[in-house]
């Protein structure tokens, strides 16, 4: 039909929400014209290299920089002594602690920063770093967080040893950082005391690292004459960095420009402020020349924001038919030597309290003890949504454990316990109000898609065959995520509320420019934000320039991590677009000499109600905005919105994994992975699928191979890509994706955010599958990573391998 | 400091002369002296492949090649890939395929991936999925999970063979799928 | 990431290369494909003052059949091994082995000679060479000499190459038609060194084993032939019991180092599994 076709053409021209718009970012990346921090070359630029401690715990007895300084081309060597007069040898962390910028008399983790060499080029800087002589007196290292609070444990933080309170309250021990708890302890304890069935499981979520392909770095450029500081930096939160740098340096924010250019992956690794940034800024100020610092991969893996390291004990109380009555959790959280976690200030365990999951559990109590160890700092990173990876892992493992105890199928157990659609908005016993969800259809859709009964039948047949070489496991995960941090009354970073922002300015020709307070690191913001504006304001996406990351032009925002861009900045984009649309309506009505109530918005124009042939396009309105506006209206067509979300959003999903484990080698092959995600309104299906693929792949890496093992002296074993498992195209499974749509009721366009869900949900699913391969033999849990070695050890313990002579049993 | 050496090679078809210490790595020469920042650095142990360029008809990790070894070499980087497009197209079939199939997100692995894909298709114009994965095993990606990269290479292979191409991601769903 | 400074030399001929090695002595290292040496130099685990680049020595490249042997120049790359129609047809074990080494980019530059001469117990070609009864032609300042593979690998980073010598050529007796072969390599991911790997060459005659070689990678200070396992199989029907027995004997020879790939028990068990897989695969491939 003519009208429908015309509408289709207009829709296609708009490239608004819901379509697989090709990416605006791609042309430059495909031609090698990206602008990453290490691509930046400035006249007179110097290069810095960090000198780092080989010991995990040691006193520094002597630092001699003279040989380094004597090397031609070395311009400066900074130590803590040089930073002391500036009071910059220590810096505040995002978690209310302090972190040494350059070690002040003592090192507390292997590879901690000790000195900073600045030279004419990176080759001389490397040579200079080798010439810095440091003498150490080794101290015993604390590596096991479960021993951190023992009376004779080595004290990691002698600098705060006497302090009995930290940023989060009382400290029970010099190595204690905080105790945080939530929920009704007494009611929960009573529920356990009276329960028919209880299960308990110790669950470790090992330390891993996000390992973005681009390491962290910066170019700091201080102009002595103008008193201006510009820093190009790999940062997921440039405005926060500007505020922090202002606080540290006493330079007013109006004279600081932080630019996050193209970033080669963030995954939470690029949120905090690292010593190398501070030393580069100081060096630039002192030397009056730009200073570049780009860390190596091993520096990245061994010193920048790690993820997880949660030692959890989970307990469930239930009825004999599997209705969960209570959840109780204790966590020992290993934060490393400095608490540098990026969490909202009030929540030192992030959103771990979403650990009641997708289930209506009436009673719950959670307590988390954070501790220091002689390892590198961090904890919140790697697509975790602020500890949601840990929370979902905990509850999903516990549900599997309960299912095994009761002999109930784990999907059936979940169905029995799901929060029902009619119960939303649902307030959990740990105080979170879930905005929406519809869990049962999602799980049923997945089970139907994979023919779950057939898989169970196959598994049964394989188990009946004693000669079967391959153990088949079926894993399930039904997760609820909490993202979009967050309402400022609950969420702040260093006292700044976690709102976000958008400004849009429409040009006379109808094209536009829009800026937000977030910063993409591959998520496609230049593409997707424009789609929101296109749908809401009727401007073709191809005519909308989207910019982020330059604090001199972008409105203040808290950055991109924790899947917050769509829920928070995306809402600001929609609302700013609607402000544009409403002003445009008034101008259109003025042009048509009717009342604004007489026109309605139709894709890309305003149409007179009842007379569809009378209309004004948004393009025509844009021109008019600069010369012919209604009386009392300002010229121009622009809008700003700062959005303080009323709540988090709650994407959810149902994942199923089939794995085949070789009993003789421990090798696991992922036969099938089906991922159904509900992120509410879907802005760009192609980009959503890409985010899901990426999150599943990183989840696969975590579950099946990534680890950061320490020996008892605090040496980190395997901090290179030789050992740190980053899968290639060969290992990575094929992903099947699906979706349902349950819009967020409080979000202007009903969108929830998605990028971390596949990571949060896949990791428990892989574990569920590998454990399921052995479940019929009494195994209830296995600790990640499920490397061939670890899985073989499980096979060995069960007598499934060929034993020490290699003979077939 | 050892004496510097003059090294002459061809970079994307254009003569390049650089003066380097023997220890200078080709990746640094390309990025800094030749100002071609397409190839990237993602590690220092020769694993990640972000530095992959085409040298004398081979995909090589330019972080593990000394510039002095490139004397007289023909070096191709991603900056020169579009010029190799057939039929005067603005982009090489691989670049087009990567855009059509959403085979890049942060873009950091992309230059290396493209140059590896280029040589892969030169040597094997009709690779299976398993072959593509195997022949891309020297290039790590953290964002995409490789699935769309495989599709992009398949797209480009079809195009280079003169066969019709389609994208997995049409702009708008087919009319039949639209709600009434 | 940055090597220490060194002088770089690019000889045009083998005699010139040998003269340079002689001149610079201990302070010189040969640069072949560079994918073992340069990574070590970038981490500053090695810092020779002189690199002698063999890249111009075309006389060290090439694969040909001569006098009942396959002769491979030491500078032949892994890529060229995989691509070689001659090897695919007459010595496919080398192709199968080379395909499992590292990744495509490394294989374009990495050489068979470098893989052999480096002495790394994790490298794959030593086991392949042991299984194929290879001999190595070594050039030095004196006369050339040939060293059989099973006298070449002495220990970790220790080979029978004397200072100043260069491995020039690898010679392998052409395996007769009907020879079964396999290289079974277990690794954490593609590109990794072996957790354990076994190379097997096998011939049957009238259903019993007339010739067998079993060589293991990365489960001892150097690659080695499991000679007790070979002897136990010789003349036997390779049934389940015989395979079990050979596997047990191969495992008994293992002395793996413990690392993030696994502990000694695991690696030894995996050596058993790879030996089993390789024996069975080789058996299936005998004519």
pLDDT in tens, B109-142: 999 999 999 999 999 999 999 999 999 999 999 9
Strand partners, A415: none
State how far the Cα of B164 lies from the Cα of A589, in Å rounded to an integer.
48
Last residue of a domain, one of C173, C201, C224: C173
Structural domain of B33: 5-79
Last residue of a domain, one of B79, B95, B110: B79
pLDDT digits (tens, 9 = 90+) for A603-622: 999 999 999 899 999 999 99
Coil, helix or strand at residue A659: strand
Residue A104 has pLDDT above 70, yes or no: yes
Q: Residue A421: its pLDDT value, please?
A: 97
Are residues A87 and A264 in contact, defined by beta-carbon separation less than 8 angstroms?
no
Clarify whether residues C77 and C44 are in a common domain.
Answer: no
Across chain C, where does the E strand assignment appear? 7-9, 28-31, 50-53, 63-66, 69-73, 135-139, 145-148, 153-155, 158-159, 166-173, 180-186, 196-205, 208-217, 224-225
Sorting pLDDT into bands at 50, 70 and 90, what band is B180? Answer: very low
Are residues A310 and A205 in contact, defined by beta-carbon separation less than 8 angstroms?
yes
Last residue of a domain, one of C130, C148, C173: C173
- C281's enclosing H/E stretch is helix C264-285
Report yes or no on B74 lying in a domain.
Answer: yes
Report yes or no on C1 lying in a domain.
Answer: no
Count the helix, strand and coil residues of chain C and give each as a percent rounded to the nearest 5: 35, 25, 35
Residue A808 has pLDDT above 80, yes or no: no
Report yes or no on B176 lying in a domain.
Answer: no
Interface test with B, best of C37, C47, C104 (most B CBs within 10 A): C104
Report yes or no on C16 lying in a domain.
Answer: yes
Q: Residue B173: its pLDDT value, please?
A: 73
CATH number for position C153:
3.30.465.10
Clarify whether residues B87 and B156 are in a common domain.
Answer: yes
Give the least confident one: A3-12, A277-286, A405-414, B53-62.
Answer: A3-12
State how far the Cα of C107 lies from the Cα of C190, in Å rounded to an integer.
13
Interface test with A, best of B21, B95, B145 (most A CBs within 10 A): B145
Angle between helix A757-775 and A388-406 (nearest 10): 30
Clarify whether residues C195 and C276 are in a common domain.
Answer: yes
Sorting pLDDT into bands at 50, 70 and 90, what band is A5? Answer: confident
- Binary contact (C269, A718; C-beta < 8 A): no
Clarify whether residues C191 and C137 are in a common domain.
Answer: no
Report yes or no on B175 lying in a domain.
Answer: no
Q: Chain C: list its partners (3+ Cβ pairs within 8 Å).
A: A, B
Report yes or no on C2 lying in a domain.
Answer: no
- For residues C117-142, give the mean pLDDT: 96
Q: Which residues of C touch B63 (CB under 8 A)?
A: 1, 42
- For residues A211-237, give the mean pLDDT: 97
CATH number for position B91:
1.10.150.120
Report yes or no on C157 lying in a domain.
Answer: yes
What mean pLDDT, rounded, does chain B reach? Answer: 95
Residue A756 annotated among the catalytic residues of the structure: yes
Active-site hit among A216, A341, A384, A679: A384
Number of domains in chain B: 2
Report yes or no on C141 lying in a domain.
Answer: yes
Q: Residue B87: its pLDDT value, please?
A: 87
Q: Residue C85: its pLDDT value, please?
A: 98
Report yes or no on C153 lying in a domain.
Answer: yes
Clarify whether residues C65 and C157 are in a common domain.
Answer: yes
CATH number for position B14:
3.10.20.30
Q: Which residues of B touch A12 (CB under 8 A)?
A: 171-172
Clarify whether residues B73 and B119 are in a common domain.
Answer: no
Structural domains in chain A plus CATH codes: 2-34+500-643 (3.30.365.10), 37-139+215-263+270-303 (3.90.1170.50), 306-485+648-797 (3.30.365.10)
Report yes or no on B173 lying in a domain.
Answer: no
- Binary contact (C5, B135; C-beta < 8 A): no
d(CA B72, nearest CA chain A) in Å: 24
Non-local CB neighbours of A46 within 8 Å, separated by 6+ positions? A75, A118, A119, A120, A283, A287, A289, A290, A291, A292
Look at the block and give the residue holding tokens 């009071």: A87
- For residues A258-267, give the mean pLDDT: 98
- Binary contact (C43, B45; C-beta < 8 A): yes
- For residues A635-664, give the mean pLDDT: 98
- B42 and chain C: CB distance < 8 Å anywhere? no
Residue B177 has pLDDT above 60, yes or no: no
Clarify whether residues B20 and B74 are in a common domain.
Answer: yes
How is residue B32 annotated by DSSP? I
Report yes or no on C39 lying in a domain.
Answer: yes
Residue B179 has pLDDT above 50, yes or no: no
- For residues A750-761, give the mean pLDDT: 97
Report yes or no on B97 lying in a domain.
Answer: yes
Clarify whether residues C66 and C156 are in a common domain.
Answer: yes
Clarify whether residues C105 and C165 are in a common domain.
Answer: yes
Clarify whether residues C167 and C200 are in a common domain.
Answer: no
Longest dimension (CA), chain C: 61
Give burial (CB, 10 Å; 0-12/13-18/19+) of A407: exposed
pTM score, whole prediction = 0.98
Report yes or no on B165 lying in a domain.
Answer: no
Interface test with B, best of A20, A30, A74, A755 (most B CBs within 10 A): A30
| Closest in C8, C104, C105 to B22, CB measured | C8
Residue A39, CB half-sphere, CA atoms under 13 Å: how many? 19
- Binary contact (C39, B64; C-beta < 8 A): yes
Number of domains in chain C: 3
Annotate A149-176 with b (16+ C-beta within 10 A) or e (fewer).
Answer: eeeebbbbbeebeeeeebebeebeebbb
Last residue of a domain, one of B17, B48, B79: B79
Sorting pLDDT into bands at 50, 70 and 90, what band is A3? Answer: confident
Clarify whether residues B75 and B51 are in a common domain.
Answer: yes
pLDDT digits (tens, 9 = 90+) for C203-255: 999 999 999 999 999 999 999 999 999 999 999 999 999 999 999 999 999 99
Clarify whether residues B58 and B95 are in a common domain.
Answer: no
Clarify whether residues B54 and B101 are in a common domain.
Answer: no
Residue A214 annotated among the catalytic residues of the structure: no
Clarify whether residues C259 and C187 are in a common domain.
Answer: yes
Examine residue A425 and say whether the peptide bond preceding it is cis (omega within 30 degrees of 0): yes
Clarify whether residues B129 and B75 are in a common domain.
Answer: no
- For residues A35-45, give the mean pLDDT: 98
Report yes or no on B45 lying in a domain.
Answer: yes
Closest-approach residue (CA) in chain C for B43: C1
Report yes or no on B110 lying in a domain.
Answer: yes
Clarify whether residues C189 and C232 are in a common domain.
Answer: yes
Q: Residue A577: its pLDDT value, please?
A: 98
Are residues C46 and C60 in contact, defined by beta-carbon separation less than 8 angstroms?
no
Residue A384 annotated among the catalytic residues of the structure: yes
Q: Chain A: list its partners (3+ Cβ pairs within 8 Å).
A: B, C
Active-site hit among A756, A765, A794, A795: A756
Helix boundaries (H) for A407-438 = 410-417
Clarify whether residues C266 and C223 are in a common domain.
Answer: yes
Last residue of a domain, one of B39, B60, B79: B79
Percent of chain A surpassing pLDDT 70:
99
State how far the Cα of A174 lies from the Cα of C144, in Å rounded to an integer.
69
Count the helix, strand and coil residues of chain A and give each as a percent rounded to the nearest 5: 30, 25, 45
Percent of chain A surpassing pLDDT 90:
97
Clarify whether residues C30 and C81 are in a common domain.
Answer: no
Clarify whether residues B65 and B135 are in a common domain.
Answer: no
| Closest in C5, C188, C247 to A806, CB measured | C247
Q: Residue B174: its pLDDT value, please?
A: 62
Clarify whether residues B60 and B98 are in a common domain.
Answer: no
Residue A6 has pLDDT above 90, yes or no: no
Residue B30 has pLDDT above 70, yes or no: yes
Give burial (CB, 10 Å; 0-12/13-18/19+) of A478: buried
Coil, helix or strand at residue C153: strand
- A395's enclosing H/E stretch is helix A388-406
Structural domain of C32: 7-53
Q: Which residues of B touch A22 (CB under 8 A)?
A: 99-100, 102, 169, 171
Look at the block and give the residue holding tokens 């873009």: B107
Residue A807 has pLDDT above 80, yes or no: no
Last residue of a domain, one of C125, C143, C173: C173
Residue A477 annotated among the catalytic residues of the structure: no
State how far the Cα of C137 lies from the Cα of A149, in Å rounded to an integer.
63
Active-site hit among A99, A110, A112, A236: A236
Clarify whether residues C81 and C149 are in a common domain.
Answer: yes
Closest CA to A116 of A104, A101, A106, A105: A101
pLDDT digits (tens, 9 = 90+) for B61-85: 999 999 999 999 999 999 999 999 9
Q: Residue A118: its pLDDT value, please?
A: 98
């Amino acid at each position: 039909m003519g009208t429908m076709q015309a509408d289709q053409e207009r829709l296609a021209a708009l490239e608004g929400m819901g379509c697989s718009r090709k990416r605006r970012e791609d042309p430059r990346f495909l031609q090698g014209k990206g602008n990453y921090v290490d691509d930046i070359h400035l006249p007179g630029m110097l290069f810095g290299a960090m000198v780092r401690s080989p010991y995990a715990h040691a006193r520094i007895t002597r630092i001699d920089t003279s040989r380094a300084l004597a090397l031609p081309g070395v311009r400066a060597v900074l130590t803590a002594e040089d930073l002391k007069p500036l009071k910059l040898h220590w810096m505040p962390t995002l978690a209310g602690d302090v972190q040494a910028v350059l070690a002040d008399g003592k090192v507390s983790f292997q590879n901690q920063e000790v000195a900073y060499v600045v030279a004419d080029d990176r080759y001389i800087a490397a040579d200079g770093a080798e010439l810095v002589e440091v003498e150490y007196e080794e101290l015993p290292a604390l590596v096991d967080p479960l021993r951190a609070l023992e009376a004779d444990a080595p004290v990691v933080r002698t600098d705060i040893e006497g302090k009995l309170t930290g940023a989060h309250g009382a400290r029970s021990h010099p190595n204690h950082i905080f105790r945080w708890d939530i929920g009704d302890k007494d009611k929960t304890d009573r529920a356990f005391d009276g329960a028919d069935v209880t299960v308990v499981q110790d669950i470790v979520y090992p330390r891993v690292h996000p390992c973005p392909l681009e390491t962290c770095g910066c170019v700091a450029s201080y102009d002595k004459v103008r008193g201006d500081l510009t820093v190009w930096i790999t940062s997921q939160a440039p405005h926060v960095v500007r505020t922090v740098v202002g606080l540290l340096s006493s330079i007013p924010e109006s004279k600081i420009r932080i630019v996050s250019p193209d970033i080669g992956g963030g995954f939470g690794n690029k949120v905090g402020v690292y010593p190398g940034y501070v030393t580069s800024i100081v060096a630039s100020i002192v030397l009056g020349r730009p200073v570049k610092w780009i860390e190596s991969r091993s520096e990245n893996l061994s010193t920048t924001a790690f993820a997880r390291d949660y030692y959890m004990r989970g307990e469930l109380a239930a009825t004999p038919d599997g209705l969960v009555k209570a959840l109780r959790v204790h966590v020992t959280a290993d934060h490393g030597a400095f608490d540098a976690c990026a969490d909202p200030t009030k929540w030192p365990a992030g959103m771990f309290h979403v650990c009641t999951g997708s289930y209506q559990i009436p009673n719950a109590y959670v307590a988390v003890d954070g501790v220091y160890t002689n390892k590198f700092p961090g904890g919140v990173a790697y697509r975790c949504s602020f500890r949601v990876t840990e929370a979902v892992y905990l509850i999903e493992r516990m549900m599997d454990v309960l299912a095994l105890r009761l002999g109930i199928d784990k999907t059936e157990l979940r169905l029995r316990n799901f929060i029902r659609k009619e119960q939303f908005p649902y307030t959990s016993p740990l105080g979170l109000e879930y905005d929406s969800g519809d869990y049962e259809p999602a799980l049923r859709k997945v089970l139907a898609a994979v023919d779950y009964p057939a898989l169970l039948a196959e598994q049964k047949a394989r188990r009946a065959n004693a000669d079967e070489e391959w153990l088949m496991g079926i894993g399930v995960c039904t997760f609820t995520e909490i993202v979009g941090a967050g309402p400022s009354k609950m969420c702040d970073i260093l006292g700044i509320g976690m709102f976000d922002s958008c400004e849009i300015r429409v040009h006379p020709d109808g094209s536009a420019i829009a800026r937000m307070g977030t910063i993409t690191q591959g998520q496609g913001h230049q593409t997707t934000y424009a789609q929101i504006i296109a749908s809401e304001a009727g401007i073709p996406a191809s005519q909308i320039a989207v910019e982020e990351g330059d604090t001199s032009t972008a409105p203040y925002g808290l950055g991109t991590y924790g899947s917050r861009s769509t829920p928070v900045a995306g809402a600001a984009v929609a609302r700013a677009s609607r402000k544009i649309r409403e002003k445009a309506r008034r101008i259109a009505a003025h042009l048509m000499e009717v009342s604004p109530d007489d026109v309605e918005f139709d894709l890309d124009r305003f149409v007179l109600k009842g007379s569809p042939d009378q209309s004004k396009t948004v393009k025509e309105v844009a021109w008019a905005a600069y010369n012919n506006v209604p009386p009392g209206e300002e010229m121009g067509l622009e809008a700003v919105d700062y959005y303080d979300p009323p709540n988090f959003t709650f994407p959810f999903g149902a994942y199923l994994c089939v794995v085949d484990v070789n009993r003789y080698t421990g090798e696991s092959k992922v036969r099938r992975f089906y991922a159904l995600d509900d992120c509410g309104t879907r802005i760009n299906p192609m980009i959503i699928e890409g985010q899901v693929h990426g999150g599943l792949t990183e989840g696969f890496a975590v579950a099946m191979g990534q680890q950061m093992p320490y020996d008892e002296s605090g040496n980190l074993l395997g901090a290179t890509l030789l050992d740190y498992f980053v899968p290639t195209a060969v290992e990575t499974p094929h992903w099947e994706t699906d979706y349902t749509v349950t819009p967020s009721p409080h979000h202007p366009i009903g969108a929830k955010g998605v990028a971390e869900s596949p990571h949060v949900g896949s990791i428990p699913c892989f574990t569920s599958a590998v454990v399921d391969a052995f479940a019929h033999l009494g195994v209830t849990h296995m600790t990640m990573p499920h490397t061939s070695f670890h899985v073989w050890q499980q096979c060995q313990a069960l007598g499934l391998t060929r034993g020490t002579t290699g003979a077939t049993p | 400091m050892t004496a510097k050496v003059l090294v002459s090679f061809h970079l994307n078809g254009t003569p390049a002369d650089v003066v380097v210490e023997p220890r200078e790595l080709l990746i640094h020469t390309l990025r800094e002296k030749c100002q071609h920042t397409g190839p990237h650095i993602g590690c220092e142990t020769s694993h990640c492949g972000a530095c992959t360029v085409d040298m004398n008809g081979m995909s090589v990790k330019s972080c593990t090649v000394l510039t002095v070894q490139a004397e007289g070499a023909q070096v191709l980087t991603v900056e020169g890939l579009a010029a190799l497009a057939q039929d005067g197209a603005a982009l090489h079939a691989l670049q087009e395929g990567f855009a059509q199939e959403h085979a890049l997100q942060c873009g950091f692995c992309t230059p290396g991936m493209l140059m590896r894909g280029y040589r892969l298709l030169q040597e094997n114009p009709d690779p299976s999925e398993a072959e593509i994965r195997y022949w891309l095993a020297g290039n790590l990606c953290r964002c995409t999970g490789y699935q769309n990269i495989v599709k992009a290479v398949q797209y480009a292979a079809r195009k280079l063979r003169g066969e019709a191409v389609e994208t997995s991601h049409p702009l708008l769903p087919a009319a039949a799928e639209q709600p009434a | 990431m940055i090597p220490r400074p060194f002088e770089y030399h690019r000889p045009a001929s083998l005699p010139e290369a040998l003269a340079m090695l002689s001149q610079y002595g201990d302070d010189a290292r040969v640069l072949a494909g560079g994918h073992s040496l340069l990574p070590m130099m970038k981490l500053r685990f090695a810092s020779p003052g002189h690199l002698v680049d063999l890249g111009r020595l075309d006389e060290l490249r090439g694969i040909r059949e001569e006098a009942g042997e396959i002769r491979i120049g030491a500078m032949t790359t892994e890529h060229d091994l995989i691509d070689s129609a001659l090897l695919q047809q007459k010595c496919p074990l080398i192709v199968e082995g080379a395909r499992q080494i590292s990744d495509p980019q490394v294989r374009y530059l990495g050489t068979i000679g470098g893989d052999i001469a480096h002495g790394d117990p994790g490298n794959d070609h030593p086991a392949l060479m042991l299984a194929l009864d290879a001999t190595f032609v070594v050039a030095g300042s004196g006369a050339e000499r040939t060293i059989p593979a099973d006298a070449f690998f002495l220990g970790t980073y220790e080979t029978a190459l004397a200072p100043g010598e260069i491995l020039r050529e690898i010679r392998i007796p052409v395996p007769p038609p009907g020879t079964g072969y396999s290289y079974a390599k277990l690794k954490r991911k593609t590109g990794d060194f072996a957790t354990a790997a076994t190379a097997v060459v096998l011939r049957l005659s009238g259903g019993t084993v007339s010739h067998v070689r079993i060589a293991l990678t990365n489960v001892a200070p150097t690659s080695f032939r499991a000679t007790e396992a070979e002897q136990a199989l010789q003349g036997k029907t390779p049934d389940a019991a015989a395979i079990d027995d050979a596997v047990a004997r191969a495992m008994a020879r293992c002395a793996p180092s413990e690392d993030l790939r696994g502990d000694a028990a695991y690696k030894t068990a995996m050596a058993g599994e790879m030996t089993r897989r390789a024996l069975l695969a080789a058996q299936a491939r005998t004519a």
